[in-house]
Amino acid sequence: MAAPARTPEQETARTSFRDELRAAIREALRADERVFLMGEDVGSYGGAFGVSLGLLEEFGPERIRDTPLSESGFVGAGIGAAIAGMRPIVEIMTINFSLLALDQILNNAATLLHMSGGQVGVPVVIRMTTGAGRQLAAQHSHSLEGWYAGIPGIRVLSPGTLQDARHMLAPALADPDPVVIFEHGSLYNATGPAVPPPASYDIVSAAVRRAGNDVSLICHGGSLPKVLAAADALAAEGISADVVDLRSLRPLDGATIAGSVARTHRAVVVDEGWRTGGLSAEIAAQIAELAFYELDAPVERVCGAEVPVPYPKHLEDAALPAIVDIMAAARRTVG
């Protein structure tokens, strides 16, 4: 999957996670007239997180569709439009509101192909913002990616890098089955150098973002920057961390996870969701299944605290995985 060629200016420019998402949507809209974006405030507002700024002016209201506050209604409409040949990108403002559309996503998008015995495919892409950290309190701070990652019939992605922000959308749109993409709210402002076109690219493999031998730090999305920072700090203590960015939450890349644990013999899973029955539990179970005889310490998990996310900063910080927590967990495995 090759990205379009870049100018020299583009090569040296800096870009942001948000800019890359927008560029991806723009490219998709230009490349295929079946593609359109729909969701609350994606048009004249430019997107609740500014992702679609300028797109309404470029593509018009038919293809950049503002919807009423009807999550179930417009997600279902996106599903129906996909069935009938369009390639909608449905934006649900946040994962918190997606609960209103969960019936359409689970009972229809994920299930129609099977219920119809293979007749009715749903090639819809659903994007949602997820995560906490901006003192938005309990109802606006959920990380429920683990729930979605448990649903057979859909693909779940979690971009954590600028490159993935840019390049996950096209293969997601090309997938004949539903794809749900989670964008952590804290990543939109992340900046970096312009994204080089990937030599080879897929949306199924986890990526080792930093190679190490002493402990595997397994994470995704918004946790990736924290984990990389923890890895840097651990290196100064003589602990070399192998950082695995999951990228795909369903399916999980068990081979890469197990390969990392086979090298390091220790694992720490970092996920902002709640640990009980969450994504971290699934990953720990897969490590036990695939790499039990490699483990030299119990698998550690660093997750959101079992509490609705509180408003005041000091409590919110305490409720979410922190760099010091990740480091402490790594140290415990190394002993």
Partner 1 sequence: MPSLGADMTEGSLVEWLVQPGDTVVKGQAVAVVDTAKSAIEVECFEDGAIQELLVEPGTTVPVGTVLAVLADGGRTDAPAGATDTGETAETTNTAEAGKTVETIKAAEAAKATDSTKATGAADTAKTTERTAARTTPLVRRLAHDRHVDLDSVRGSGKAGRVTRADVEAASRDSGRIRATPYARRTASELGVDLRGIDGTGTDGTIRARDVRAAASGPTTPARPASPAPAAAPRPAVSPEPPAPDGHAQARRQAIAHLMSKSKHEIPHYYLSTTIDLAAAVAWMREHNRAVPVAERLVPAALLLKAAAVAARKVPEMNGFWIDGGHVRPAAVHLGVAVSLREGGLVAPALHDADTLSLPALMAGLRDLVRRARTGRLRASETADPTITVTDLGDQGVEAVFGVIYPPQVALVGYGRVLDRPVAVDGLLGVRPCVTATLSADHRAGDGAVGARYLATVDRLLHHPEDL
Partner 2 sequence: MTSARQNDVQEPAHPRADRDGEAATEPSEQTKHLLDLAGQMLLIRAFEERCVELYSSGAIRGFIHLYIGEEAVAVGVNAALSPDDAVVSTYREHGHALARGVPPEAVMAEMYGKATGCSHGRGGSMHLFDAGRRFYGGNAIVGGGLPIAAGLALADKMADRSRVTCCFFGDGAVAEGEFHETANLAALWDLPLLLVCENNLYAMGTPLAHEHAQTDLAMRAASYGMPAWAVDGMDVVAVEKAARRAVDGILAGNGPHFLEMRTYRFRAHSMYDPDRYRDKAEIERWRERDPIPLLMRRLPAGTADLPEMTERATAAVDRAVKAAQEAPVEPVADLLRFVTHEGA
Q: For residue 269, state whether it binds partner 2 (rule: CB under 8 A).
A: no
The residue from 62, 306, 314, 335 that contacts partner 2 (CB under 8 A) is: 62
Question: Out of 83, 295, 305, 322, which residue is the one contacting partner 1 (CB under 8 A)?
Answer: 295
Chosen residue from 25, 75, 206, 231 binding partner 2 by CB under 8 A: 75
> Would you state the structure tokens that stand for residue 136, as one six-digit string?
């938005």
The single residue among 3, 48, 53, 77 that binds partner 2, judged by CB under 8 A, is: 77
- Spot the catalytic one: 20, 40, 71, 145: 71
Nearest approach in angstroms of CB 39 to partner 2 is 13
According to CB under 8 A, which residues from 254 to 293 bind partner 1? 265, 292-293
**How far apart are the C-alpha atoms of 325 and 302, rounded to whole Å?**
7
Annotation says 140 is catalytic? yes
**Residue numbers 145-164 binding partner 2 by CB under 8 A:** 152-153, 155
Q: Which two tokens stand for residue 165?
A: 């922000």
Cβ nearer to partner 2, comparing 121 with 225: 121
- Residue 208 within binding range of partner 2, rule CB under 8 A: no
Contact mark string toward partner 2, 104..143, x via CB under 8 A:
x--xx---xxxxxxxxxx----------------------
Query: How many residues of this chain bind partner 2 (CB under 8 A)?
Result: 40
| Contact between 301 and partner 1 per CB under 8 A | no
Considering the complex, what minimum distance in angstroms separates the CB of residue 252 from partner 1? 21
Q: Which of 277, 273, 214 is nearest to 246 (CA)?
A: 273
Q: Residue 265: name its binding partner from partner 2, partner 1, none (Cβ under 5 to 8 Å by kind).
A: partner 1
- Nearer of residues 4 and 152 to partner 2, judged by Cβ: 152
Nearer to partner 1, 241 or 291 (CB): 291
* 114 part of the active site: no
Give catalytic residue positions.
Answer: 71, 140
Residues that bind partner 2 (CB under 8 A): 36, 62, 67-68, 70, 72-86, 88, 103-104, 107-108, 112-121, 152-153, 155, 176-177
